[in-house]
Structure 1
Amino acid sequence: MRPETEAMDAIESNARPFTGRKMLLSMLAFFGVIIVVNLGLLGFALDSDNGLVVKNSYVASQDYNRMMAKARAQEELGWRAAVTHRAGVVELRFTDGAGAPLTGLEIAGRLGRPVTDREDRPVAFREAGSGLYRTDAALGAGEWELDAVARDGAGAEFRRIVRFFVKDPGQ
């Protein structure tokens, strides 16, 4: 025998044949990885924003003219609202078109994260004088959204939606 043939015979005798069992295990491993990755992506998708702005766009379109009229009326009021957060308190400062503080407002709304409703909570503000309104809100670090509606004694309504970032919850 030639030396090359002896070496090839030694390699072939040590090689294990590719059986149906190996094929089955290979296929199960391949599809198992795909299934695990898909389940992980599904989990991320369920935990994120669904992208819905309104539940029924047809009904929302029917209210468009009414919403635009409310926006024009709000703009004509000339009210302005500034939002601040510090030491577990959210503050709203309301002024009129001339910059004078607005007092006697009733303010309520919703405070939560912009992309999920899991941490949403209703809030009611109390007047602290000179156009300043406060509510206690221990917020975690990250981005938050306040949707507040203010009403005066004459029935005028002002809605303000503002996003703000909390760097350090203790401050």
Structure 2
Amino acid sequence: MTTTTTHDPIQNPTGPRKSDRLIPWYFVGGFAVMLIANICLIVFSQTSWVGLVSDHAFEDGNNYNTAIADAKAQSELGWRTKISVAGVIDNEATIIVLFRDKTQSPISGAKMEAVLMRNDRDDVDEKIMLSEVSPGEYRTRASVPVYGNWKLRIVAHAQNHDYQVVEDVLITQ
């Protein structure tokens, strides 16, 4: 009894298969995708807000005890402000600050400035001086290029003392 087995003859390739020639290009494509993703992340990181709260963080840290002492002295003065932002017309708002002492008497003759800041961008921050329009009432007009949440920092110097307060304000049309 004889058995005959038939099997496919083994192909003797004379070179690489067509699909084998694409393998290096798979690597090139993978690196290209990674390169494009990295370039997108770099561009985004360079054009977005940096998130810095202070440009002088080291100095602020070194002067922390002085800042605490100033805050205590300000608290002992008992001065208060009532801040309102109104009259928004054509991206301009009126900032009104009522400045009072412990007994709710108006504080006149203060040198007062306001800094209008956005939390998400620093290119629209604006520093403006306020003028006294009546005893203890200070006003100014400010450019508001973007509506929404703003931080308003008021810095006043009166009666040889400094006073500052930061409030969140919502500016709408």
TM range (shorter): 0.7 to 0.9
The amino acid across from 2:79 in the alignment is: W
More strand by share: 2
Cα distance per residue 1:70-100 (max 9 Å; x no partner): 1111111111112221222122121222223
Segments of structure 2 that go 5 or more residues without pairing to the other structure are 1-7, 9-16
> 1:142·1:166 contact (CA, 8 Å) conserved in 2?
yes
Structure 1 pair 90–40 and aligned structure 2 pair: CA distance change class (3 A): farther
Cα deviation for residue 49 of structure 1 reads 3.2
Give yes or no for the alignment of 1:26 onto 2:26. yes
> 2:49·2:122 contact (CA, 8 Å) conserved in 1?
no
Cα deviation for residue 132 of structure 1 reads 1.9
Q: Distance in 2 between matches of 1:40 and 1:129?
A: 54
Deviation beyond 6 Å, 4+ runs, structure 1: none
More helix by share: 1
Among the aligned pairs, what percent are the same residue?
24
Q: Distance in 1 between matches of 2:129 and 2:109?
A: 14
Cα deviation for residue 23 of structure 1 reads 3.0
Task: Write out aligned runs for 1:59-138 (5 A).
Answer: 59-86=59-86, 87=88, 88-138=93-143
Cα distance per residue 1:22-75 (max 9 Å; x no partner): 334433332323222333333333312334545343x33331222111111111
> 2:78·2:101 contact (CA, 8 Å) conserved in 1?
yes
State the TM-score, normalized to the length of structure 2: 0.73
Alpha-carbon RMSD: 2.4
State the TM-score, normalized to the length of structure 1: 0.74
| Corresponding pairs, count | 151
Cα deviation for residue 161 of structure 1 reads 1.6
Q: Out of 157, 160, 166, which is 1:161 matched to? A: 166
Segments of structure 1 that go 5 or more residues without pairing to the other structure are 6-15
Structure 1 pair 33–165 and aligned structure 2 pair: CA distance change class (3 A): farther
